[in-house]
Amino acid sequence: MKPRHLGQKSILTAEQIARPRTILDTFPNPSPRRDYEIKFVFSEFTSVCPITGQPDFATITVVYVPDRLCVEMKSLKLYFFAYRNKGIFYEAVINTILDDLAAVLKPRRMTVIGDFAARGGTTATVSASTSAKRAR
């Protein structure tokens, strides 16, 4: 499967923004018999507080052990961009990211961590994890 976003202009459609999971591209795991860890750190994540409308800034870290599929990095970046104007609480965004990535990739293990910038003198870190037992 050829990634849809590589070499293409990075403009998201209204449908992609409404359903970010549709943005994610995958490719076959090159070493499916081995457990190895992939880590992405996205330091420019932005969403919006659903109460105040103020922007929330975070560093999102995704760590996973792939099974049959890996996520293509540009599509992951575009996926994160889809949250730029969404009104969503910290806890909801981290769990939604985990749910979307786990549904698409079906990883052996995955953790998503959101380190949110200080607002009102308080920082927040939210993490969510999943694992799946599969026969190899």
Q: Give this prediction's pTM.
A: 0.89
Write down the mean pLDDT value for the chain: 92
- Residue 72 within a domain: yes
Measured distance CA(133)–CA(67) in Å, rounded: 10
Contact (CB, 8 A) for 44 and 60: no
Q: Which of 49, 67, 99, 115 is catalytic?
A: 49
- Residue 51 within a domain: yes
CATH of the domain at 114: 3.30.1130.10
Alpha helices by DSSP H, listed for the chain, are: 14-18, 73-81, 90-105
- Residue 95 within a domain: yes
Q: How many domains does the chain have?
A: 1
- Residue 3 within a domain: no
- Residue 9 within a domain: no
- Residue 92 within a domain: yes
| Residue range of the domain that includes 21 | 14-131
The per-residue pLDDT for range 32-84, each reduced to its tens digit, is 999 999 999 999 999 999 999 999 999 999 999 999 999 999 999 999 999 99
Query: Above 70 in pLDDT, residue 14?
Result: yes
Q: Find residue 111's DSSP bridge partners.
A: 63, 129
Q: Which of 25, 35, 56, 99 is catalytic?
A: 56
pLDDT given at position 44: 96
Is 70 one of the annotated active-site residues of the chain?
no
- Residue 112 within a domain: yes
For residue 73, give both structure tokens.
């990095």
Contact (CB, 8 A) for 128 and 90: no
- Residue 1 within a domain: no
Closest CA to 56 of 80, 27, 22, 29: 80
Query: Above 70 in pLDDT, residue 8?
Result: no
